[in-house]
Amino acid sequence: EIVMTQSPATLSVSPGERATLSCRASQSVSDNLAWYQQKPGQVPRLVIYGASTRATDFPARFSGSGSGTEFTLTVSSLQSEDFAVYYCQQYDSWPLTFGGGTKVEIK
């Protein structure tokens, strides 16, 4: 099983600032990495797939990078609607596994 580790667990950021979230895989997943956003009481929403391809609902301030075992989700200028928990997920092999999440909170 590929273990996905996200850091930090909580990220405190002021609106308008950049947020950088990290995700590490215990073995290479190539670029088979997705990011999801989840707000309290809501369903997860796909943000990024293929490590760097942005889903249609998300603006250009969201970007993903990395390959192999190290990945980053960057939100260039945080807006109020971006404060949420973000999860990474590898889909390189079974079982599919998610990271533990990073909560992005208002500083």
Partner 1 sequence: EVQLLESGGDLVQPGGSLRLSCAASGFTFSTYGMSWVRQAPGKGLEWISSIAGSGGGARYVDSVKGRFTISRDNSKNTLYLQINSLRADDTAVYYCAKRIIAGPTYFEHWGQGTLVTVSS
Interaction of residue 104 with partner 1, rule CB under 8 A: no
In angstroms, what is the minimal distance from the CB of 75 to partner 1?
19
Cβ closer to partner 1: 8 or 15? 8
Tell me the two tokens of residue 63.
Answer: 């970007």
d(CA 66, CA 35): 12
Interaction of residue 95 with partner 1, rule CB under 8 A: yes
Residues in 44-83 that interact with partner 1 by CB under 8 A: 44-46, 49, 55
In angstroms, what is the minimal distance from the CB of 15 to partner 1?
25
Tell me the two tokens of residue 7.
Answer: 């850091």
Q: List the strands of the sheet with 4-7, edge to edge.
A: 4-7, 19-25, 70-75, 62-67
Interaction of residue 43 with partner 1, rule CB under 8 A: yes
In angstroms, what is the minimal distance from the CB of 34 to partner 1?
4
Contacts to partner 1 by CB under 8 A: 1, 32, 34, 36, 38, 43-46, 49, 55, 87, 89, 91-101
